[in-house]
A and B are shown apart, each in its own frame.
Chain A
Amino acid sequence: MCGSLSFPRGDPLPGGGRMTSYPGRWLVVDLSRGSWEWITVPREEIALFLGGRGLGALELWRRVPKGADPFGDENVLIFAPGTLTGTDAPCSGRTTVLAKGPATGYYLKVSVGGHLGISLKLAGVDGLVFLGRAPRPQYLFLAPGVARLEDAGDLWGRTVRECTRVLKDRHGAEAEVACIGPAGEKLVRFASIMTSVYNAAARGGIGAVMGAKNLKAVVVDPRGGRLGVADPPTFRKLVRKAREALYNDSLAYDLHRFGTARDVDLLNELKLLPAYNFQRSHLPGEMRELSGRSWPELGYLKRIVGCGGCIYCCHRFTRVDEGPYAGVYSGGPEYETVAALGSGCGVTEIEPVLAANELCNDLGLDTISTGIVIQWAMECYQRGLLSREDCDGLELAFGNGDAVVELVRKIGHREGIGDLLAEGIARAAEKVGRGSERWAMQVRGLEHSGVETRGAYSYALAFAVNPRGPDHLHTECLAEFGGTKEAVEVVEKITGDRRYAVPDTVEKRAEIVRWHEDIYAVSDALGLCAFSTTAAYGIDEELAAGLFRAATGITMGPEEIMRAGRRIVTLERCFNLREGLDPREEDRLPWRIMHERQNDLLSSDPVITPEKLRTMLREYYRLHGWDERSGVPLPETLDMLGLSFVKEELP
């Protein structure tokens, strides 16, 4: 029943006899048939799409037919570690996971850290594609020279921790596990894939795609595997340079010590913290324990944790030792989790947030969407659209942390009201109706992440054009706040003037977004954490191109690599256009962001009106060489980017 794949073991010089960190060896597994094939990505395609997210987007474009059901056999699930993943290039351990997304019905890419990417690369797999649907629950086991589909009947129904424990007992502690929890199995539209136990490929329902394929886990044992680079002396020199730049960034050490949630209290003081489902951007009263900075002294922080190959290590391991939540332990929480399940729900105590975070991680749920969906339900409760009875007896008032925790559990198991919420906020609001769409913080079916976009115009624009929906993980424009000297320098480099390092103007936002979009796509393609390029500013296009060149032996310059980033972004756009995206209707922000002023904000004009957004969009389309009105790439732009092949499939 479970065959073994023939594997080119010990092939030391794949990629046409050259030593390279990216031989381009992809494994395609057809789950319906239980068959597989190896494909080799031509070097010309690696030069154009780099690796990771780029080649993943190309595979997705080629393999998913227009109109495919995200939960159907025609959808594919792709794991694509970066070009540099598996090397010691700093912060290069990331993997992009792709599919047609169940939340939106559009393009979905999700980036995940942990140790999955390194393990895949060392095991000799540059990309992994799952087609079809397994006839019964299965998992894939990979090691250098070995690949097997195994029965997962005994794992189905288990939580992420339980499943990982069983698989590590079976395959060894060094084996890396990526799996779904009960939420993915039950097709919750914001289910995650978890790896290294606590690292989430979180957004857009990627875990539900895996669940629909009856695929419980991917297990990778990297032992015995190896990876080289084309030009070791140059690579070594550039890695050292990148590392020094990252160590010296003024944000870096703080990120290491206190994590992504380090400044929740500061954001609150600046009145930039989403609260009460974006009704406010400030939590009144004492809330300091929501800040990562306080967790060491309060005793919650037990260990600082790093993804594979990271030199920052911003991840946390936390535990509650006493009180009603004693025994809660998990990875995180990250800033977004605190904003989604804490401040957004009006919760000012950290312990219920830790408990909700633990449940999300263990059931395999995206903490952002889970929190936003709960916030929407809380506002429905506040406004009398949902009664206590509708909520299975839960007192769903803002600030009730215990209710948040219980609701997370119900969502993960699709129990009671959890079944409605598990469909995501757009579908839930459609059912509840009566104006609740107006406080449903979503666009195209994806829940808006925890950034007060009315006070951050680059983010607002970036959210509106993000192919997967409104969040910060397609283009992180932290620089617009001018929070560090490096951030101001980046804005100056992009716009020519450091005056534009302010977040509440429409001017130059399109330029800022487009530059960040390009470098972000390059980061995802190379497997670099976006923190190394767009939050701390250690790796720029020059270094990225140099590292790519030294790792693969493929000629690459800084302008060329940014053009590759643009190519990736444009192809993603085209995927959505092929699916029927109407940018004039759908490049937008949640109703509340566009129509309700956020009066907590210190900004003079705290709302992104349709007019403002249109102004920014028009400029953004123009910079891209897209039609200024329709937002569709012009034929000559596609030709210039080497994307002529998409033209015949566009409407």
Chain B
Amino acid sequence: MRWVMPGRLLVEEERCTGCTSCVLACSFAKEGFFSFSRSRIRILRDQEFADFRPRVCVQCAEAHCISACPVGALSRDGATGAIVLDERACIGCRKCVEACPYGGVAFDEEREKPLICDLCGGEPACVEVCRFPEAIRYQEVGG
């Protein structure tokens, strides 16, 4: 595996256009098909008032999800800084979903596992499609 600088996603809600390009790109990148339910990033959309709020893991320092997990299925990847899930250990209890103050953990109802962004190994698919609005940007941190 290629070593990349640890990074994080920066989200500016008011720049989001609600186009859902990131949602489609994310599900295709991670699952191999297009789906609103199997994307790591979601957008809460109020179309009438054009209020769009992207929800995705922002790799926060506190990582409430990790401490909330009763079986230790979540940990931080030292190389990318992303939260990673051990699917075999996960019991699908949704504690991580509830614990995240940013609403950044999606839940896959079909497989009953959380969907957590792994930053696509340092080249997030969602960022690539948001070049004009710049509602989601990728920031490399540390060094």
**Which A residues are within 8 Å of any B CB, using their own CB?**
86-88, 90, 115, 118, 122, 161, 164-165, 173-174, 196-198, 222-228, 232, 236, 240, 243, 247, 252-253, 256, 302-313, 315, 317, 329, 331
Contact = CB atoms under 8 A, between A and B. Distances in A.
Interface in B14-58: 14-15, 17-21, 24-25, 27-28, 32-38, 44-52
Interface in B50-68: 50-52
Contacts of B86: none
Contact of B129 (A122, A253, A307, A311): A311
Contacts of B133: 256, 304, 306, 313
Contact of A302 (B36, B44, B50, B128): B50
Nearest to A236: B28
A266 to B, nearest CB: 21
B18 A306 contact: yes
A172 to B, nearest CB: 11
B34 A115 contact: no
Interface in B77-106: none
B48 A306 contact: no
A368 B19 CA distance: 25
27 contacts: A88-B21, A90-B129, A122-B35, A122-B36, A165-B48, A174-B36, A196-B47, A197-B47, A198-B47, A223-B37, A225-B35, A225-B36, A227-B35, A243-B129, A247-B131, A252-B132, A256-B132, A256-B133, A303-B17, A303-B51, A303-B52, A304-B17, A306-B17, A309-B20, A310-B21, A313-B133, A329-B49
A317 B19 CA distance: 13
Interface string B4-18: 000000000011011
B109 interface: yes
Nearest to B26: A88
Contacts of B47: 164, 196-198
A67 B64 CA distance: 67
Given A224-B109, A247-B131, A313-B132, A173 B46 contact: yes
Q: Which of A173, A226, A232, A315 has the most CB of B within 10 A?
A: A226
Contacts of B45: 173-174
B49 to A, nearest CB: 7
A309 B48 contact: no
A88 B36 contact: no
A331 B50 contact: yes
Which 9 A-B residue pairings sit nearest by Cβ, starting from the closest? A306-B19, A317-B50, A306-B17, A313-B17, A303-B50, A88-B24, A226-B35, A256-B132, A228-B33
Given A198-B47, A313-B132, A306 B32 contact: no
B38 A226 contact: yes
A377 B37 CA distance: 50
A196 B33 CA distance: 24
A306 B21 contact: yes
A311 B21 contact: yes
A302 B27 CA distance: 29
Contacts of A317: 49-50
Contact of A223 (B28, B36, B131): B36
Contacts of B14: 303
A173 B48 CA distance: 11
B32 to A, nearest CB: 6
Contacts of B15: 304
B53 to A, nearest CB: 11
Size bin of chain B's contact surface = 20 to 34
Interface of B: 14-15, 17-21, 24-25, 27-28, 32-38, 44-52, 109-110, 128-129, 131-133
B35 A309 contact: no
A173 B15 CA distance: 20
Contacts of A243: 128-129
Nearest to A176: B47
Contacts of A165: 48
A256 B129 CA distance: 13
Nearest to B19: A306
A118 B18 CA distance: 13
Contact of B28 (A88, A247, A303): A88
Contacts of A310: 17, 19, 21
Contacts of A312: 132
Given A226-B33, A226-B35, A306-B17, A311 B132 contact: yes
B37 to A, nearest CB: 5
A312 B21 CA distance: 10
Contacts of B18: 305-306
Contacts of A173: 44-46
Contacts of B38: 226
A321 B34 CA distance: 39
B19 A309 contact: yes
B20 to A, nearest CB: 5
A312 B19 CA distance: 9
A312 B133 CA distance: 8
Given A243-B129, A310-B21, A311-B129, A228 B34 contact: yes
A380 to B, nearest CB: 36
B32 A232 contact: yes
Given A243-B129, A303-B14, A227 B34 contact: yes
A541 to B, nearest CB: 24
Nearest to B125: A88
Given A226-B27, A309-B21, A317-B50, 8 more contacts: A115-B20, A224-B109, A224-B110, A236-B28, A303-B51, A305-B17, A306-B18, A311-B19
Contacts of B132: 247, 252-253, 256, 311-313
A117 to B, nearest CB: 12
B34 A305 contact: no
Contacts of A224: 37, 109-110
A196 to B, nearest CB: 5
Contacts of B25: 88
A308 B35 CA distance: 13
Contacts of A227: 33-35
A605 B25 CA distance: 50
Contacts of B128: 240, 243
Contact of B20 (A197, A240, A308): A308
Q: Which of A122, A236, A247 has the most CB of B within 10 A?
A: A122
B125 to A, nearest CB: 8
B14 to A, nearest CB: 7
